[in-house]
């Protein structure tokens, strides 16, 4: 009896699992799939949804080389097999091979896009395999000829003596195989500031607007091919904080900020993709000096309440990154561009001075997103913003004015109450704001990410070095 181990192979992601057999005169018992132990040893938490058994009546029965579009965990119930695997995915490892004799004490995790073939070495051999997507009729995927000279697989039983299907005999050679492309990245809300930045930063990603895919539309959701995606980046949101206080805005905010994330969380569980969702510091009431990830939610207004509801829903997705951010600045209409325009026009505005937080440039939010995904950081909630001392909106405006050739004194500070009174006097809605929006970045830093100072990013954003 050996300890449970998980070993790597020359094919990236193809893992060999060696497991103890507990036996006596009656036979043996094994923990064929033990999620907690195996994941702790490095096996992906791949979420199997179907279990299949392949029975091979006679020694020499040979199946493959098939390259299914799902992950697969293969093990023996009885008998022995010779297993051969060929990497059929796009990339440098395309064509890499590995082979191994497998008995009931050995299992193999086969990642999507790796061709697999099995030759029975004993009569009455049965192997079982878990997969993380349901088999569907008509699904096409690459296959490789068992005799391919490039793969050069050393079959223990010569193929001339083996039992092989006509279909497998007709499979093409490696030179004629179209490599399997990786699953795609989907960006929801691609027309917004953050969505545009995400599409640009993830080459080959598919960006859609609400007009192209409305996640609150059940029919549209049902028709969308969610199984084609490895990552879904949800940058779609209702962000009209004050309008959310109106009857129409309240309904729209709940649909976009709560219902849609709940749907995406369910889809992530069903289809196995990683869900990245962007939230807001508005889920807190602004009484803490620096908000931490596990601070109890305490939203003030309707917009804030809908974002908090979305947070709770997304946290139920098995593989999720919930990124809370603040004061987002990207391409298009935003506070910094407005202040720059006012400075250029000679206007001297009054700006709120008692709301304090940190700017988050979309370039920083995108950089953090890539880092978390590529580093394999633990799933969960992370606070993301630029670094540096927390500043008020008035101080941000003054920094913009100074970098636009104006005096900081041209920006007059005003309180939130005074600003709200002016808005309400005009008959417009006004939502309560958290006065402290700064968030702790310690958890993000612990993953190896170093946030950039907000003023450094502001200099670059404004192109201050190019001004006379």
The answer to whether the CB of 86 falls within 8 A of the CB of 65 is yes
What does 398-428 look like in DSSP terms, one character per residue?
HHHHHTTTS-GGGSEEE-HHHHHHHHHHTT-
The answer to whether the CB of 273 falls within 8 A of the CB of 229 is yes
Please tell me the distance from the alpha carbon of residue 399 to that of residue 217, in angstroms, as a whole number: 43
Of 266, 281, 197, whose CA–CA distance to 233 is shortest? 197
- CB 320 within 8 Å of CB 382: no
How many of the other CB atoms lie within 10 Å of CB of 417? 9
Strand partners, 229: 184
Q: Is 99 a catalytic residue?
A: no
Active-site position among 99, 118, 127, 129: 129
As given in the structure block, the two tokens for residue 16 are: 């060999």
- For 2-40, letters b (16+ CB in 10 Å) and e give eeeebeebebebbbbbebeeeeeeeeeebebbeeeebee
User: Residue 12 has which token pair?
Assistant: 């990236």
Answer yes or no: 271 catalytic. no
Q: Give Cβ neighbours of residue 353 (< 8 Å, ≥ 6 apart).
A: 392, 393, 394, 395, 413, 414, 415
> Cβ-count burial of 302 within 10 angstroms (0-12 exposed, 13-18 middle, 19+ buried)?
buried
Angle at 90 between CA 86 and CA 93, to 5 degrees: 50
Asked if the bond preceding 463 is cis, omega within 30° of 0, the reply is no
How would you class 374 by CB atoms within 10 Å of its CB: exposed for 0-12, middle for 13-18, buried for 19 or more? exposed
Q: Which of 117, 54, 108, 45 is nearest to 88 (CA)?
A: 117
- In this structure, how many other beta carbons lie within 10 angstroms of the beta carbon of residue 423? 13
**Among residues 66, 99, 227, 383, which one is catalytic?**
66
Phi then psi for 382, rounded to 5 degrees?
A: -135, 140
Distance in angstroms (rounded) separating the CA atoms of residues 279 and 349: 29
Q: How many CB atoms lie within 10 A of CB 92?
A: 9
Where in the sequence numbering do the catalytic residues fall?
A: 66, 129
């Amino acid at each position: 009896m050996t300890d449970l181990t998980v070993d790597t192979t020359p094919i990236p992601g193809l893992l060999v699992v060696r497991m103890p057999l507990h036996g006596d005169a009656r036979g043996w018992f094994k923990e064929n799939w033990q999620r907690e132990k195996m994941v702790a040893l490095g096996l992906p938490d791949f979420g199997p949804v179907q279990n299949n058994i392949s029975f091979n009546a006679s020694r020499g029965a040979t199946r493959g080389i098939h390259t299914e579009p799902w992950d697969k965990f293969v093990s023996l119930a009885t008998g022995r097999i010779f297993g051969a695997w060929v990497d059929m995915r796009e990339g440098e490892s395309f064509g890499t091979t590995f082979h191994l004799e497998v008995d009931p004490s050995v299992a193999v995790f086969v990642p999507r896009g790796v061709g697999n073939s099995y030759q029975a070495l004993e009569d009455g051999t049965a192997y079982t395999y878990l997969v993380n997507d349901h088999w569907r009729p008509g699904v096409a995927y690459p296959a490789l000829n068992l005799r391919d000279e490039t793969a050069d697989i050393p079959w223990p039983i010569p193929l001339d003596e083996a039992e092989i299907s006509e279909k497998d005999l007709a499979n093409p050679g490696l030179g004629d195989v179209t490599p399997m492309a990786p699953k795609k990245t989907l960006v929801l809300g691609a027309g917004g500031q953050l969505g545009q930045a995400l599409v640009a930063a993830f080459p080959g990603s598919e960006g859609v607007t609400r007009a192209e895919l409305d996640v609150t539309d059940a029919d549209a959701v049902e028709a969308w091919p969610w199984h084609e995606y490895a990552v879904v980046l949800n940058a779609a949101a209702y962000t009209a904080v004050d309008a959310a206080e109106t009857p129409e805005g309240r309904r729209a905010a709940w649909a976009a900020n709560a219902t849609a994330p709940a749907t995406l969380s369910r889809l992530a569980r069903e289809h196995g993709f990683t869900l990245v969702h962007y939230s807001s510091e508005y889920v807190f009431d602004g009484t803490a000096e620096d908000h931490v990830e596990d601070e109890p939610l305490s939203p003030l207004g309707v917009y804030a309440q809908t974002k908090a509801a979305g947070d709770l829903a997304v946290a139920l997705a098995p593989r999720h990154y919930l990124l809370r951010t603040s004061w987002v600045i990207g391409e298009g209409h935003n506070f910094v561009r407005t202040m720059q325009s006012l400075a250029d026009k000679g206007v001297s505005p009054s700006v709120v001075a008692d709301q304090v937080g940190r700017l988050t440039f979309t370039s920083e939010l995108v950089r953090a997103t890539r880092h978390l995904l590529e580093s394999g950081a633990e799933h969960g909630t992370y606070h993301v913003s630029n670094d540096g001392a927390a500043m008020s909106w008035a101080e941000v405006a003054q920094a913009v004015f100074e970098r636009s050739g104006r005096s900081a004194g041209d920006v007059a500070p005003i309180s939130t109450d005074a600003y709200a009174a002016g808005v309400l006097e005009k008959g417009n809605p006004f939502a309560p704001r958290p006065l402290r929006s700064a968030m702790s970045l310690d958890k993000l830093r612990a993953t190896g990410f170093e946030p950039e100072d907000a003023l450094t990013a502001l200099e670059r954003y404004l192109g201050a070095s190019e001004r006379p």
